[in-house]
């Protein structure tokens, strides 16, 4: 039998044992099935993983040669084999080098771009660089995918540190998005940042042209109100953006891993270069931990192994990410891209079909809102949804400390309730106290039974600072990497987004009246109906 079969056999053999039983059998379970990095605690004891399962999961890691693959990534080897590229988002947050790609140290370029970004951000923030109408009051970042989700998430997360211009994010090609964002802004005091590595992404460039037309209606030289996050300097120049306002990055930075560099300019403009540097230092600290810590104490490795256990071994198709932190509102959406675009593959590195499920469906919402929405299904639905909770020990509003205590209490209570559940006997007793008896007592009690034995993890950190946010993002980046290595897939390409984009380009002229007879009946009917409604 191979390791996967051993894992599945072990899970089947222990299927009748509950998480609560594991705690009853081992008074030290919480300490043994948790790990710390600095002040951060990752607790995975409320899962069905036991010593034997963990031993087998570690065998998976070693069999996949994770440590070799990890070193290859950090040292600039071209582990993105389908695109023949290195994977070096870690270099964007590294304090120094050398880090070589094709024999050339990339760190001087990284550090110089970081310096230019900081210089530009300071000048915008202190009014040295102004718009046509004076100091910038607003920044509109136009991007999509990795050029939007990461920086938009991080900017919101770091709201207590905002002391610069208001930063807005536009991504959707739906005209409502840019219309509603620009409405009420002063063009003469708005900086537009266009984020596209190639400066050809159709959604981004459509929005950028709309923003330029809006700007041209009020500003004599609209190009001077723009900056670009792009490596296509010829195209940014043609757009009218001065080279001093263009910040490029290399092809070894994937979009969903790019907020650490120029794509993070919006974050830097909002919080300042110093707090942005703290974000980078948090990511770099997690990099060092991932690279150096023993596998058994390594947070990214452990988080990945919990994910592998739940998805590939136990067969739970989804995972819910549940931050009890309102400012992490966009974290689940960011992780959807990070995890599902990275590991949503169906073939291994050598092109063979994957023999088991690849990445899970990732979803979530901040607590406590989710408790009044979808937690009903998590607690009493017929499918098990592993939950990943996270919460800070303290908030940023000391005058509202009682709010935060209630928030933490809810977070811990949900994890406990998922594990413990409520038996029929307990529910019968509750109904008896309400004066019910006989068949009606049992009928009502059955509605109040919670199966329990539903797994969850908890990530506890002191406070959501820039440094801690950097640690959290890097933790999940490396988790994705570890899961991909174990599954034998390339986590750093995204060919699955190509086909729909190609077909959209061909469909657009059909909506304008070109012959659609070559399309299938459904698509043809929809095109004809759109034409009629338009």
348-360 burial, b at 16+ Cβ within 10 Å, e below that, comes to eeeeeeeeeebbb
Tell me which of 372, 402, 433, 447 is the catalytic residue. 372
- The span from the CA of 215 to the CA of 208, in Å, is 10
pLDDT in tens, the chain (534 residues): 599 999 999 999 999 899 999 999 999 999 999 999 999 999 999 999 999 999 999 999 999 999 999 999 999 999 999 999 999 999 999 999 899 999 999 999 999 999 999 999 999 999 999 999 999 999 999 999 999 999 999 999 999 999 999 999 999 999 999 999 999 999 999 999 999 999 999 999 999 999 999 999 999 999 899 999 999 999 999 999 999 999 999 999 999 999 999 999 999 999 999 999 999 999 999 999 999 999 999 999 999 999 999 999 999 999 999 999 999 999 999 999 999 999 999 999 999 999 999 999 999 999 999 999 999 999 999 999 999 999 999 999 999 999 999 999 999 999 999 999 999 999 999 999 999 999 999 999 999 999 999 999 999 999 999 999 999 999 999 999 999 999 999 999 999 988 888 899 999 999 999 999 999 999 999 999 999 998
CATH 3.40.50.10490 corresponds to the domain 3-63+293-420+455-493 = yes
Tell me which of 8, 203, 224, 341 is the catalytic residue. 341
- The span from the CA of 253 to the CA of 256, in Å, is 9
At the top level of CATH, the class of 103-277 is alpha beta
Residue ranges of alpha helices (H) inside 43-174 are 51-63, 66-74, 89-92, 107-126, 149-157
Q: Would you call the peptide bond into 368 cis, given omega within 30 degrees of 0 as the criterion? A: yes
Is 345 a residue of the active site?
no
**CA dist 97 → 113, 148, 169, 292, 515 (Å):** 15, 28, 33, 17, 57
Is 396 a residue of the active site?
no
Task: State whether residue 195 is helix, strand or coil.
Answer: strand
Is 519 a residue of the active site?
no
Which phi and psi (to 5°) does residue 80 adopt?
-85, 85
Closest to 211 in 3D by CA, of 124, 134, 140: 140
- The span from the CA of 333 to the CA of 108, in Å, is 33
- The span from the CA of 250 to the CA of 246, in Å, is 13
81-93 burial, b at 16+ Cβ within 10 Å, e below that, comes to eebebbbbbbbbb
Tell me which of 65, 179, 403, 501 is the catalytic residue. 501
- At 431, list the tokens: 């109904």
Closest to 19 in 3D by CA, of 295, 415, 300, 382: 415
- At 328, list the tokens: 């992490």
Closest to 180 in 3D by CA, of 140, 230, 221: 140
* Contact partners, residue 403, CB within 8 Å, separation at least 6: 395, 397
Q: Whole-model pTM above 0.85?
A: yes
């Amino acid at each position: 039998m191979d390791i996967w079969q051993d894992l599945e056999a072990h899970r089947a053999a222990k299927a009748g044992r509950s998480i609560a039983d594991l705690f009853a059998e081992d008074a030290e379970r919480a300490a043994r099935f948790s790990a710390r990095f600095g002040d951060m605690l990752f607790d995975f004891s409320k899962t069905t993983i036991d010593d034997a399962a963990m031993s087998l999961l570690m065998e998976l890691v070693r069999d996949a040669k994770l440590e070799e693959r990890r070193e290859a990534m950090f040292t600039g080897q071209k582990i993105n084999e389908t695109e023949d590229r290195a994977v070096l988002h870690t270099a964007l947050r590294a304090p120094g080098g050398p880090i070589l790609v094709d024999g050339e140290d990339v760190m001087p370029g990284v550090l110089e771009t970081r310096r230019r970004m900081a210089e530009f951000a300071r000048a915008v923030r202190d009014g040295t660089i102004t718009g046509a109408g004076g100091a910038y009051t607003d920044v509109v970042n136009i991007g999509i995918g990795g050029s939007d989700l990461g920086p938009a998430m991080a900017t919101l997360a770091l709201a207590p540190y905002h002391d610069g211009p208001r930063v807005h994010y536009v991504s959707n090609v739906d005209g409502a998005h840019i219309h509603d964002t620009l409405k009420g802004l002063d063009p003469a005091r708005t900086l537009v940042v266009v984020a596209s590595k190639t400066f050809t992404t159709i959604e981004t460039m459509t929005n950028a042209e709309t923003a330029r037309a809006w700007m041209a209606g009020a500003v004599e030289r609209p190009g001077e109100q723009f900056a670009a996050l792009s490596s296509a300097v010829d195209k940014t120049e043609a757009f009218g953006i001065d080279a001093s306002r263009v910040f490029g990055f290399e092809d070894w930075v994937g979009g969903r891993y790019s907020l650490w560099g120029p794509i993070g300019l919006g974050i830097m403009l909002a919080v300042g270069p110093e707090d942005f540097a703290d974000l980078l230092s948090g990511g770099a600290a997690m990099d060092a931990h991932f690279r150096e810590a023993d596998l058994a104490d390594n947070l990214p490795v452990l988080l990945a192994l919990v994910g592998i256990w739940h998805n590939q071994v136990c067969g739970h198709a989804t995972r819910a990410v549940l931050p009890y932190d309102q400012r992490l509102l966009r974290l689940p959406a960011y992780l959807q891209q990070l995890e599902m675009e990275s590991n949503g593959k169906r073939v291994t590195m050598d092109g063979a079909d994957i023999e088991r499920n690849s990445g899970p469906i990732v979803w979530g919402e901040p607590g406590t809102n989710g408790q009044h929405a979808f937690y009903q299904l998590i607690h009493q639905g017929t499918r098990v949804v592993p939950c990943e909770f996270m919460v800070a020990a303290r908030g940023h509003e000391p005058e509202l400390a009682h709010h935060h205590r209630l928030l933490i209490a809810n977070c811990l209570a949900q994890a406990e309730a998922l594990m413990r559940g409520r038996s029929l006997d307990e529910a019968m007793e509750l109904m008896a106290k309400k004066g019910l008896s006989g068949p009606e007592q049992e009928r009502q009690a059955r509605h109040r039974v919670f199966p329990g034995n539903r797994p969850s993890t908890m990530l506890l950190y002191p406070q959501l600072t820039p440094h801690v946010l950097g640690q959290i993002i890097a933790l999940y980046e490396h988790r994705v990497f570890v899961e991909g290595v174990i599954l034998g897939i390339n986590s750093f390409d995204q060919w699955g987004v190509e086909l729909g984009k190609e077909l959209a380009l061909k469909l657009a002229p059909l909506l304008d009246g070109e012959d659609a007879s070559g399309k299938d009946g459904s698509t043809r009917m929809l095109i004809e109906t759109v034409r009629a409604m338009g």
